Amino acid sequence: MNQLWRTQPQVRQWAALTLVVFLLALSTGSAVLMAQNLGAAPQTNVAVQGQTGAQPEGAFLNLVNWIGNVIAPVGAALAIAGGLVSYIGGRGVMRYVVTALGCLAVSGVTRLLEFWIQQGGGGVS
């Protein structure tokens, strides 16, 4: 009869696993829903709208886009996952929370740089 009841660590592990599955489903679903539709023809040799990769603005904007839109959010997600694993093990999670917030801050700053580059790309008129 005692085997039917879950102990406290088992409940925490189950809750953490459920949260991880939910977050993965949410992130995957939103990526699929927000995917860009290019139609029937793939788009090649286009770095940034109106620019090529050979132009300094286009190359720098591609780098900023990659860091802000890919690297930093993935780092934040990995930090959250590490925090969940640490929480399940009964250890501290503050360093993982700070790391995730730092990655999201880097993402926000790079998005701000992207905005500034796009606004200043037209030159002085």
What is the C-alpha separation between 122 and 114, in angstroms, rounded? 14
Pick from 12-26, 34-48, 76-90: least confident: 34-48
Sequence-distant (6+) residues with CB within 8 A of 86 are 92, 93, 96
- The radius of gyration of the chain's CA atoms, rounded to the nearest angstrom, is 21
Q: Which pLDDT belongs to residue 1?
A: 45
Three-state DSSP class for 97?
Answer: helix
User: Which segments within the chain are labelled E, that is strand?
Assistant: none
Contact between residue 101 and residue 72 where contact means Cβ atoms under 8 Å apart: no
- Give backbone dihedrals phi and psi of 94, rounded to 5 degrees, phi first: -60, -40
> Which pTM value belongs to this model?
0.50
Domain limits of the chain? Answer: 53-125
| Residue 37 confidence class, pLDDT cut points 50, 70, 90 | very low
Q: Which pLDDT belongs to residue 26?
A: 73
Q: Which pLDDT belongs to residue 65?
A: 78
Q: What is the pLDDT of residues 50-105, one digit of tens each?
A: 555 556 666 676 777 788 888 899 999 999 999 999 999 989 999 999 999 999 99
DSSP 14-27: HHHHHHHHHHHHHH
